[in-house]
A and B are shown apart, each in its own frame.
Chain A
Amino acid sequence: MTVAGVLDVVLRLVLVVGAFLLLPLLVGQLEHKAMAHMQSRVGPMYAGGFHGWAQLVADGVKFVQKEHVVPTAADRTVFSLAPAVALLPYLLVLAAVPVGPGLVAVDLPAGLFFALAVLSVSVLGSIMAGWSSANKYALLGGMRTAAQLLAYELPLVLAGSSVVMAAGTLSLSGIVLAWRPWWLVWQAAAAVVFFVSGLAELARPPFDMPLADSEIVLGPLTEYTGLRFALFMLAEYAGIVVLCALTAVLFLGGWRGPFGDASLGPIWLLAKIFLLAFVVIWVRVSTPRLRSDQLQRLAWLVLVPMSLGQLALTGVVKVVTS
């Protein structure tokens, strides 16, 4: 490998890690502020001076200072490892997201397959945390996470495969290149199913049964403190970024925009990501938490049939137009 090659790889990875550390914070700040204003509040106003822009930095500093407490009965190794298992998969997925024409950290031929497979690993982090905490609330939360993962993984994959059928490729870059604006209508159902299932997999409200702070404390995160808790929180927001990026790439044309794809690609993608992230926050503010049985009903009776119908539609249209 030449020096230029090594530098190229290093630069790509640095950019991905930078985006991975920065974007979740921006989404978190957006959530602080958008949620506050939706509730007729102003949100953080002090940290950093201007409208509390440094609130999450301050939170991070606070978390670092805190003690790392491991319960006596906990499975120490698994307990300490769980936040990393929850967080790292999102970093890996982010590396596979194309941000411009030919601009992707790692261009995988089976990018979507990789993304969906690695995305599910993250949920294992929550289950590990729930099991190893030696706490009944954490265990309940972990089990709920597992149930939710089982229910929503299927519609997620089905919705993704609809786009794969339409584009005829598993590569994320290939899907963006094959994307046409009329797919917005054609793949609308798949987009909704994908986005909703993704929300459920992230355990974001209204699908936050696994965390459900009013009934089981904070589910798998009950026993976590300090930096490891912060990593879980970071994982949640990194998950939002990754989900929004994947939704944008699969269903909204990724880096393609009304004009200037070649130069403005990353900006279009970022705009789409933040628009979707706003929707995530908006839905969180506006909807009450779903009950466990409602969650399962929504997955099996609405989302799975919807995605199967979308698959059929995709197939028919594909055959007719080819």
Chain B
Amino acid sequence: MRFYGKGILTGLAVTLRAMTRRAVTRQYPEVRPDLPPRSRGVIALLEENCTSCMLCARECPDWCIYIESHKETLPPATEGGRERSRNVLDRFAIDFSLCMYCGICIEVCPFDALFWTPEFEYAEHDIAELTHERDVLREWMWTVPPPPALDPGAERPKEVVDALRAAAEGRPA
């Protein structure tokens, strides 16, 4: 049924209903937001896992990752064997004034050395301060939350499937 003034009455009803519900406002500085584990706040570096393979730096679309490393040779493990060489990380820095938070570096890291953390309060007065060196990046690791639980009915993680199959065949995974 249509009658004169229906639109106004509908509008009044909508605003009155909105008034009776709780406001959606977040009291941010007083109440810290409860962010999900995958929030793209800042990138943390677990440098123990890093092999200086440079994959992250090369995939970064805006070239904001700086990696410097040198090669060290280790004495051979067995007598008369070949000398082993390994990369030693000298510098790992992410310039968050350039970073666009795409997360590609985290996706490509084959050694799980980079992680998202939901921390976002790292604004600076000087743009140069936004380049976080490896010690700062390492500190962010403490804020990395455990990954979210799998959805109900989701596939099992690949590692678990592999381990189960290996156990069934009686070989080490």
B16 A40 Cβ-Cβ under 8 A: no
A282 to B12 Cα, complex, angstroms: 7
Q: In this assembly, does B18 line the interface, its C-beta being within 8 Å of a C-beta of chain A? A: yes
The 5 closest A-B pairs by CB, nearest first: A286-B11, A38-B15, A42-B25, A37-B19, A286-B15
Whether A37 lies near B12 (C-beta < 8 A) is no
Identify the closest chain A residue to B23 (Cβ).
Answer: A42
Contact partner of B11 (CB less than 8 A), chosen from A36, A37, A42, A287, is A287
Tell yes or no: B24 within 8 A of A by CB: yes
Contact with A along B16-41 (1 / 0, CB 8 A): 10110101110100000000000000
Contact of B8 with A by CB under 8 A: yes
Q: Which of B8, B12, B21 contacts A40 (CB 8 A)?
A: B21
Residues on B lying within 8 angstroms of A by beta carbon are: 8, 11-12, 14-16, 18-19, 21, 23-25, 27
Closest partner residue, chain A, to B21 (CB atom): A40
Contact A37–B18 (Cβ < 8 Å): yes
With a CB–CB cut-off of 8 A, which chain A residues contact B8? 286-287
CA–CA, A285 to B17, complex, Å? 13
B12 contacts which of A34, A41, A42, A283 (Cβ < 8 Å)? A283
- Nearest CB on A from B150, distance (A): 34
Complex interface bits, A281-320 against B, C-beta within 8 A gives 1, otherwise 0:
0110111000000000000000000000000000000000
A41 touches which one: B11, B15, B25 (CB < 8 A)?
B25
Which one of A41, A282, A285, A286 lies within 8 Å of B23 (CB-CB)? A41
Closest to B24 in A: A40
For chain A residues 171-223, which have a beta carbon within 8 Å of chain B? none
Does A38 lie within 8 Å of B18, measured CB to CB?
yes
Q: From B8, B18, B27, name the one whose CB has the most chain A CB atoms within 10 angstroms.
A: B18
Q: List 17 A-B contacts (CB under 8 A).
A: A34-B19, A36-B23, A37-B18, A37-B19, A38-B15, A38-B16, A39-B15, A40-B18, A40-B24, A41-B23, A41-B25, A42-B23, A282-B15, A282-B16, A285-B15, A286-B11, A286-B15
Chain A residues with CB under 8 Å of B19's CB are: 34, 37-38
Query: Which residues does chain B contribute within 8 Å of A38, judged by CB atoms?
Result: 15-16, 18-19
Q: How far is the CB of A46 from chain B (nearest CB, A)?
A: 10
Given known contacts A37-B23, A40-B23, A286-B12, what 6 new A-B pairs fall within 8 Å (CB)? A38-B19, A40-B18, A282-B12, A285-B15, A286-B11, A287-B8
- B16: chain A residues at CB < 8 Å are 38, 282
Question: Which residues of A have CB within 8 Å of B11?
Answer: 286-287
A39 near B12 with CB under 8 A, answer no
Cα(A39)–Cα(B16), bound, Å? 10
Give the docked Cα–Cα distance between A286 and B18 (Å): 11
How far does the alpha carbon of A177 sit from the alpha carbon of B170 in the complex, in Å?
100
Q: Mark A15-54, 1 if CB is under 8 A from B, else 0.
A: 0000000000000000000101111111001000000000
**Bound-complex Cα distance A37 to B25 (A):** 10
Contact of B18 among A39, A42, A45, A283 (CB under 8 A): A39
User: Which B residue's beta carbon lies closest to that of A283?
Assistant: B12
Bound: A169/B154 CA distance, A: 80
Task: Give complex CA distance A283, B5 in Å.
Answer: 13
Smallest Cβ-Cβ distance to A39: which chain B residue: B18
A225 to B40, CA, bound (A): 43
- In whole angstroms, how far apart are the Cα atoms of A286 and B9 in the complex? 9
Q: How many whole Å from B55's CB to the nearest CB in chain A?
A: 45
For the complex formed, measure the closest distance between the CB of A203 and the CB atoms of chain B, giving whole angstroms. Answer: 19
Which residues of chain B are near A34, meaning CB under 8 Å? Answer: 19
Q: Give the residues in chain B near A41, CB-CB below 8 Å.
A: 23-25
The reply to whether B25 and A286 contact each other, CB–CB distance below 8 Å, is no
Bound-state CA distance A42–B27 (Å) is 10
A283–B16 alpha-carbon span in the complex (Å): 10
Q: How near does chain A come to B22, taking the closest CB pair, in angstroms?
A: 8
| Binary CB contact string for chain A from 252 to 295 against chain B (1 if under 8 A, 0 otherwise) | 00000000000000000000000000000011011100000000
